[in-house]
Structure 1
Amino acid sequence: MASGGDGGRTGAAASGGLAVCVFCASSSKIDRVHVDLAADVGAELARRGHSLVSGGAQVSCMGAVARAARAGGARTVGVIPEGLVSVEISDEDNDELVVTADMRARKGEMDRRSDAFLVLPGGIGTLEELFEVWTARVLGMHAKPVVILDPTGVYEPLRELMTGLAEQGFARPKIFDAIGWTASVEEAFDLLERSQPRIEATPEDYAEAEL
């Protein structure tokens, strides 16, 4: 395990794969099915020759995805805030463990090191991470793929909420052009590997603050 930054991608470039950032739960109270899903994601990531960027914890889904990725031979990078090292229990087995000053720095570091984002079921922390990269993609600030993997329907109320917001004019329909939504691990990676066009934001997007 090494600490610090490498100034760019996590090492996926050596194998031609992507540096995939996985946002997921660190809670120990969730159903085992979600932890198993994270492990399946880590195994598939490794099988396809990608590397992992995650939240750097060894508990729950965070730990499961990293352990499975390493078991398959993938490089893993964990990024964890200093204040959560003892709370989430940092995963010292990562090939690289980056300790940041706070949550904002954590998200920025994960973003910088990633080529694509995969979102698994999670709580408010996962939702915060999702909305940040989703919003930036809608506004044309990056063209990295963003995919939600939700085989058990945890995020169905979210999809309904966002559809309703678009129907009422609070959000533009193109928010759904900026994200993939699937129940299949294999399809999730197919979507991540697909080249994504940059979404061009219009002046109205900013003037009306509609995403």
Structure 2
Amino acid sequence: MQHDVIDARISPNGSLDVLSRLEVTKLLNASQGDLYPLFRNSSLAVLNYGDYLDDGRELLERFKDFNIRVIQEERGIKLDLRNAPASAFVDGKIIRGINEHLFAVLRDIVYVDDTINNNPRFDLQTSNGITNAVFHILRNARIMRPGINPRLVVCWGGHSISPTEYDYSKEVGYELGLRGLDICTGCGPGAMKGPMKGATIGHAKQRIYTGRYLGITEPGIIASESPNPIVNSLVIMPDIEKRLEAFVRIGHAMIVFPGGVGTAEEILYMLGILLDPENSRIPMPLIFTGPAEAAGYFDQIDHFITQTLGPAARQMYRIIIDDPETVARKILEGVEQVHQFRLKTDDAFYFNWMLNVDLSLQLPFEPTHANMRSLNLHRNQPPHLLASNLRRAFSGIVAGNVKDAGIRAIEEHGVFEISGDARIMEPLDQLLAAFVEQKRMKLPTTCYNPCYQLITEEARA
């Protein structure tokens, strides 16, 4: 199938329009060296706005001839695009928001490689070193805004939800916007776009012209979740773990909408933090919500959490069904609690330094067949560490579903084997089966072939 393409040369807007010659040279070298595949593939994902795919490899194969180069000029840089998706242009001119996102890709990928990786100042094998790296990446992207009271709500959820669920996420976003709250999501479509779209109307009605619609992504997932056009600040973190830490460090409250395995991964990451005894006194509002049709989805999630992590985990969140106004009011109350706590403890409003994120949640997990097979999914560990290992299991399933490297690994070596205690494997099997039945693993028009096999230790013995 042929897809319309276009050639263009574009100039940056914002943070990359004033650069020294040394900085330009670094950008030029990086964009044509070892970083080029990462830069090229992430840029293609940004340009592919509006044509969302669940398979990252499909996008790369669809636009095999796409090419992007950094051009050095006397006054700075430009990007030369060849065979770019035509959907990113209107009357031959690139859409301004996509232009900004494209240069955000260049900014973040080059900054991480030049300033974070292989820099002795950042020990990426320690918890403090990783947190410092997350902070510096966000600061370089100009995300930090001192002097502003807490008001950033992180919204998680699926990118291929039903129309009813999408409309509901817009209603919640609208109620949040009316209350002056800003939105942060994974930047893609579905439950990542809906709250932003609703908040724009709420902000407009309140004559709020400084609303923030922050999107945080990472190279492995960006192809299947191209940034939606409402995002006015985009950050590309190096990996999923730093992406998740960025969410919890800068957010003041969390809302979870319906989704699939990626959303379950996010929930388990958050529970891994909230169940950590070191975080017992730190407020972090967490609400699961959706329309009436999503009640069964959250019942299944709730059952899985209770069966695997215990009743204490059930106290860490609240489920509110089909009531956007109540969700927004409870979130606003929670944000005020966060505000008062930060004042009392002298913690920054813009970055939650006090929160303890265990190293097991920070170190990048490579979902190889060996690593998936060796996951510790047993009851012989504290609940917050079990949540961390369950998070890794879901991360591997996400990779096998939508990430190019994961899909290729499954094709070459077969499905992932995931084993553990029967009391964990059985609820996990029920949850994943429910996701398949509800068509939450792939877009509703596709047939899902599982990339995993669940094995109980009892059966293996």
The interval holding the TM-score normalised by the smaller chain is 0.7 to 0.9
Give the SS at the match of 1:79.
strand
Counterparts of 1:88 and 1:161, CA distance in 2: 26
Q: 1:43 to 1:127 in 2, by over 3 A?
A: same
Match of 2:300 among 154, 157, 162: 157
Q: Which has more radius of gyration?
A: 2
Counterparts of residues 18-97 of structure 1 (less than 5 Å): 18-27=151-160, 30-57=161-188, 59-73=189-203, 74-97=211-234
Q: How does 1:59-138 map to 2 (within 5 A)?
A: 59-73=189-203, 74-138=211-275
CA contact (8 A) 1:22 1:119 kept: yes
Normalising to structure 2: TM-score of the pair? 0.38
Give the 3 Å change call, closer, same or farther, for CA 175–37 of structure 1 in structure 2. Answer: same
Cα distance in structure 1, aligned partners of 2:176 and 2:147: 14
**Partner of residue 325 from structure 2, selected from 154, 164, 186:** 186
* Stretches of structure 2 lacking an aligned partner (at least 5 in a row): 1-96, 105-136, 204-210, 342-378, 385-461
- Paired with 1:171 and 1:83, the residues of 2 have a C-alpha distance of 28
SS at structure 2 position matched to 1:94 = coil
| Counterpart among 138, 141, 145 of residue 285 in structure 2 | 145
Match of 1:53, SS state, is strand
Q: Tell me how far 1:109 sits from its aligned partner.
A: 1.3
Where structure 1 has 5 or more consecutive residues not aligned to the other structure, the ranges are 198-205
One-letter code aligned to 1:189: A
1:22–1:52: 8 Å Cα contact kept in structure 2? yes
Q: What letter corresponds to residue 275 of structure 2 in structure 1?
A: V
2:168 and 2:290 in contact (8 A); partners too: no
Q: CA deviation at 1:137?
A: 0.9
Are the equivalent residues in 2 in contact too, given 1:9–1:114 (CA < 8 A)? no
| Farther off after superposition, 151-160 or 34-43 | 151-160
| 154-163 or 177-186, larger mean C-alpha shift | 154-163
Computed over aligned residues only, the root mean square deviation of the Cα atoms, in angstroms, reads 2.8
Equivalent residues of 2:275, 2:383 under 8 A apart:
no
Q: Do the aligned partners of residues 117 and 25 (structure 1) sit closer, same or farther apart at CA in structure 2, a change above 3 Å counting?
A: same
Q: Name the residue aligned to 1:210.
A: 383
SS at match of 2:315: helix
More helix as a share of residues: 2
- State the 1:207 CA deviation: 7.8
SS at match of 1:26: coil
Q: Residues 42 and 22 (structure 1 numbering): CA distance in 2 closer, same or farther, change over 3 Å?
A: same
Report the AA paired with residue 186 of structure 2. Answer: G
Shift of 1:12: 10
Cα deviation, residue 155, structure 1: 1.3
Summarize the Cα distance change of 1:145–1:13 in structure 2 as closer, same or farther, 3 Å threshold: farther
Per mean C-alpha deviation after superposition, the further-off stretch among 125-134 and 172-181 is 172-181
Report the secondary structure of 2:287's partner residue: strand
Identical pairs, percent: 20
Q: TM-score, normalised by structure 1?
A: 0.78
SS in 2 for 1:89: coil
C-alpha spacing 1:103/1:208, structure 2 compared with 1 (3 Å) = closer
Q: Is the 8 A contact 1:81 1:100 kept in 2?
A: yes
- Contact 2:272–2:383 (CA<8 Å) still a contact in 1? no
Displacement of 1:138 in angstroms is 2.0
Which residue is equivalent to 2:417?
none
